[in-house]
Chain A
Amino acid sequence: MPTKIEKDIVTGRDTTGHEWDGLKELNTPLPKWWLYVLYGTVVWAAVLFVLYPSIPGVNGYFRGVLGYSQRTAVNDAVRAVMAQRADTMDRIKDLSFAEIRKDPQLMAAAATAGRIAFANNCQPCHGAGGGGRPGYPALAAGAWIWGGSLDDIQQTITYGIRSGDEKAREGQMPRFGADGILKPQEVQQVADYVMTLFGDTEPGKDVSAGQKIFAENCAICHGEAGQGDREKGAPRLASRVHLYGNDRAMVVAQVTSPRMGVMPAWHTRLDEATIKSLALYVHSLGGGE
């Protein structure tokens, strides 16, 4: 409350009457229309309070005369976008991969849909951009176990690997060590040989014993030269990239008691157009064949 309004000698104006540690403020009055603009905004705020959800209560909140809800608005927007996309996604579903790739617009839509679906569903295991990690294949590297063509990838995503689905990709590796098919010493010998397939050859080391064991036990699936067999899901061993690691201990462990990973069948969760988009995306990561 103003207590002491004085007249300022220099300007001839009143002071506001407030004083802070000897400092006084000149009263330079604002034009009233500024004040009315403020009142206008207050009225506007009151109108908004009535129109839109505003006041919280014990059992919910005042919903506003317009009945606006952000949740409904988002759902409507999502539905509208889905309806807008329906045509494109239908075409992705119906056309072949070759036809989709010929249409830049459709390809762009599929790439975007695939990228987003990948981030939501695949990334937790396969890593962002398909970088992979031990036990989860690096999709960008092209070290395919079951094949890297668009159709192969679509098949793998749709039905999975050892997923329990009846069309799933199935492949079993015997527990050579654990079930006594190979003696511990033989496991070590075959591991020595497999390491030469990796490219890590110790000069002068004799691996002929391992080579013989390999030819008798492993070559039937992994191939004479360790080139692998995609029909059986037997990984290529003559490679620098391996699912569970690149060292000798991994080879020994795998021959003794193999780990065989599982990938779920995605057709129960994703529609066909999304899976095809995913296949196109995964194919484009760098490893596509």
Chain B
Amino acid sequence: MSRISKAERQLQLQREAAGDHLYANRVRVYPKSVHGPVRRFKWAVLIVCLGIYYLLPWLRWPRGVNQPDQAVLLSLWTERFYFFNLKFWPQDIYYLTGLLIVGAVGLFLVTSVVGRVWCGYTCPQTVWTDLFMWIERRIEGDRNERMKRDAEKVSFDLIWRKLAKHAAWLAIAFWTGGAWIMYFVDAPTVTVEFWTGAASKEVYFFTFLFTATTYLLAGWAREQVCTYMCPWPRFQSAMLDEQSITVTYQGWRGEPRMRGRRHDGAPAGDCVDCGACVTACPTGIDIRDGIQLECINCGLCIDACNHVMERTGRPKWLITWDTLADQAAKAAGRQTTLHLLRPRTLIYASALVLVLAAMTVALAMRSSVGLSVLHDRAPLFVRLPDGDLRNGYTVKIVNKGPNIALFELHTAGLDGAVLAEMDEGLGPAARLGLPVKGDSVGTFRVTVAGAPAHLVDGSQNIDFVLRNTETGEQTVYQSLFMGPR
């Protein structure tokens, strides 16, 4: 180890004694309330999002006898997802994949055009944090009042306000956790069951879990979630470029900041360095430092700054939505135009359109009958006493219709094939009639016997043809008929 000076060693010892220079106390953020168009828009988005979240489970949607009448219901117990007129089976899980792709590409597109508006307006973390802050302000007052009270000695005033705030938070968190459960079980039923103690352990557990997470994340963690937990701020820079519209401090207009320079005659920018943009920020940053990881692009600093600009008789929009390229041009005194259409946005947009189109087509062409045929693993075939070969198959028929239906199964490709269903004792016959109850999967053990004329490498193709005798809908499944090599 190299020798170090005494002073350096002293500094080092001090730091080690402090022992925590790798960890910092959390800097508490006391966001100041603002008024203005951005704030009003943000409230509107919040009301719409929360309104949908809390009320949607209560929307009824009659579907007929023995069918749930909840418009949106993810029924894990019966393995059916209901979205208004659509009903999804576990087999339809790829729609979820499609939905996730749409969500991801949509987020990329929006981010590359208008920055992190998802973070600033619609992310649940933002929405609930905003709601919790609103409650905090109702009970504890605005920034200055809260800071003052927190700094003072513990008083009755402080205690009852804190208690009231946390009680209100917990109540909302509980409502949030409860509403989450209602997407998975019938809302009115589970509400009654919950309060009569008749609900399942899972219902109580998940209600408690989501109550706890809502309370902790929106009440306590807040901007810490965005800064330290969420991966999105970390890779957003891959979607942003100099043409993306983001919340921007117009440095060329604002600098040099003029605090204390009013009277000394030095040139001054529009920024009065009042700090309104900083105190309004829900993540506690200074937008004048430029685009940064913590910025959720909510634009509340715009409202705060506009207010100050108005009062001091300067043009508004010192902080505004703009692109880096535009700002650079303006600083150089040039005029520019927005470039919304650029390779990045076009690629994202076309990917989005493609996936949406594919999903729509798939959804429109969705069959109400599903057929899958699984050849027995062992034995692959058996030789019958009369010399014919017989293969065994597990046939699964999905009847997505509401009523019992009779399906007719036959094969094509093997002359003189004789089918038999073993469990129900149907056949032997060339065509089998297989009844399947409504909204369920029928599983049948079907054997096919025949004398294949020509086997290539021990097998030949055989098609299973299934016809719904009620609707006439027909499905074909390709399989193999096996024999000795």
Separation of A154 and B224 alpha carbons in the complex (Å): 69
- Convert B8-22 into 0s and 1s, putting 1 for each residue whose CB lies closer than 8 angstroms to a CB of A: 100110010000111
Question: Among the listed A4, A33, A130, A284, which residue makes an inter-chain contact with B379, where contact means beta carbons less than 8 Å apart?
Answer: A130
Q: Is the CB of B447 within 8 A of A286?
A: yes
Return the chain A residue nearest B423 by Cβ.
A284
Separation of A132 and B8 alpha carbons in the complex (Å): 84
Return the chain B residue nearest A107 by Cβ.
B423
Q: Is the CB of B425 within 8 A of A101?
A: yes
Selecting from B169-177, B340-348, B382-390, the interface stretch reads B382-390
Q: How far is the CB of A277 from chain B (nearest CB, A)?
A: 13
Q: A30-B23, A30-B228, A288-B422 are in contact. Are A5 and B12 (CB under 8 A)?
A: yes
Whether a CB of chain B sits under 8 angstroms from the CB of A32 is yes
Q: Is the CB of B386 within 8 A of A240?
A: yes
Whether a CB of chain A sits under 8 angstroms from the CB of B378 is yes
Question: Among the listed A3, A127, A236, A241, which residue makes an inter-chain contact with B378, where contact means beta carbons less than 8 Å apart?
Answer: A127
Whether a CB of chain A sits under 8 angstroms from the CB of B1 is yes
- Convert B422-445 into 0s and 1s, putting 1 for each residue whose CB lies closer than 8 angstroms to a CB of A: 110100000000000000000001
Return the chain A residue nearest B443 by Cβ.
A108
Separation of A286 and B378 alpha carbons in the complex (Å): 13
Q: Which of B375-412 contact A (CB under 8 A)?
A: 376-380, 382-387, 390, 392
Return the chain A residue nearest B421 by Cβ.
A284
Separation of A286 and B12 alpha carbons in the complex (Å): 83
Q: Is the CB of A31 within 8 A of B228?
A: yes
Separation of A127 and B378 alpha carbons in the complex (Å): 8
Cβ of B228: which chain A residues have Cβ within 8 Å of it?
30-31, 34
Q: A29-B24, A31-B25, A286-B422 are in contact. Are A131 and B382 (CB under 8 A)?
A: yes
Q: Is the CB of B382 within 8 A of A140?
A: yes
Separation of A162 and B445 alpha carbons in the complex (Å): 33
Whether a CB of chain B sits under 8 angstroms from the CB of A149 is no
Q: How far is the CB of A147 from chain B (nearest CB, A)?
A: 14
Whether a CB of chain A sits under 8 angstroms from the CB of B485 is no
Whether a CB of chain B sits under 8 angstroms from the CB of A190 is no
Separation of A129 and B391 alpha carbons in the complex (Å): 11
Q: A2-B15, A107-B423, A142-B385 are in contact. Are A30 and B22 (CB under 8 A)?
A: yes
Cβ of A14: which chain B residues have Cβ within 8 Å of it?
21
Question: Among the listed A5, A30, A101, which residue makes an inter-chain contact with B15, where contact means beta carbons less than 8 Å apart?
Answer: A5
Q: Which of A130-158 contact B (CB under 8 A)?
A: 130-132, 138, 140-143
Chain B interface secondary structure, helix, strand, loop or mixed?
A: loop
Return the chain B residue nearest A284 by Cβ.
B422
Separation of A240 and B390 alpha carbons in the complex (Å): 13
Separation of A36 and B159 alpha carbons in the complex (Å): 25
Cβ of B445: which chain A residues have Cβ within 8 Å of it?
284
Separation of A117 and B109 alpha carbons in the complex (Å): 57
Q: A2-B15, A27-B21 are in contact. Are A140 and B383 (CB under 8 A)?
A: no
Q: A141-B383, A288-B422 are in contact. Are A31 and B378 (CB under 8 A)?
A: no
Interface residues on A, range: 35 or more
Q: Is the CB of B21 within 8 A of A29?
A: yes
Cβ of A29: which chain B residues have Cβ within 8 Å of it?
21-24
Whether a CB of chain B sits under 8 angstroms from the CB of A199 is yes
Whether a CB of chain B sits under 8 angstroms from the CB of A196 is no
Q: How far is the CB of B294 from chain A (nearest CB, A)?
A: 12
Q: Is the CB of A285 within 8 A of B23?
A: no
Q: Is the CB of A129 within 8 A of B386?
A: no
Whether a CB of chain B sits under 8 angstroms from the CB of A239 is yes
Return the chain B residue nearest A138 by Cβ.
B382
Q: Is the CB of A140 within 8 A of B11?
A: no
Return the chain B residue nearest A283 by Cβ.
B422
Whether a CB of chain A sits under 8 angstroms from the CB of B26 is yes
Q: How far is the CB of A146 from chain B (nearest CB, A)?
A: 15
Q: Is the CB of A142 within 8 A of B384?
A: yes
Separation of A14 and B22 alpha carbons in the complex (Å): 10
Cβ of A27: which chain B residues have Cβ within 8 Å of it?
21-22
Question: Among the listed B8, B386, B390, which residue makes an inter-chain contact with A140, where contact means beta carbons less than 8 Å apart?
Answer: B390
Separation of A287 and B422 alpha carbons in the complex (Å): 9
Separation of A14 and B20 alpha carbons in the complex (Å): 13
Q: How far is the CB of B374 from chain A (nearest CB, A)?
A: 13
Query: Which of A107, A111, A130, A131 counts the most chain B CB atoms within 10 A?
Result: A131
Q: Is the CB of A240 within 8 A of B384?
A: yes
Cβ of B25: which chain A residues have Cβ within 8 Å of it?
31-32
Separation of A140 and B392 alpha carbons in the complex (Å): 9
Whether a CB of chain A sits under 8 angstroms from the CB of B76 is no
Question: Among the listed B4, B379, B420, B447, which residue makes an inter-chain contact with A128, where contact means beta carbons less than 8 Å apart?
Answer: B379
Q: How far is the CB of B377 from chain A (nearest CB, A)?
A: 7
Return the chain B residue nearest A240 by Cβ.
B387
Separation of A2 and B379 alpha carbons in the complex (Å): 69
Whether a CB of chain B sits under 8 angstroms from the CB of A66 is no
8 nearest A-B pairs in the assembled complex, by CB-CB distance: A131-B379, A128-B378, A29-B24, A239-B385, A240-B387, A141-B382, A284-B422, A31-B26
9 CB-based A-B contacts, threshold 8 Å: A4-B8, A5-B11, A16-B22, A31-B224, A32-B20, A35-B23, A128-B378, A131-B380, A283-B422
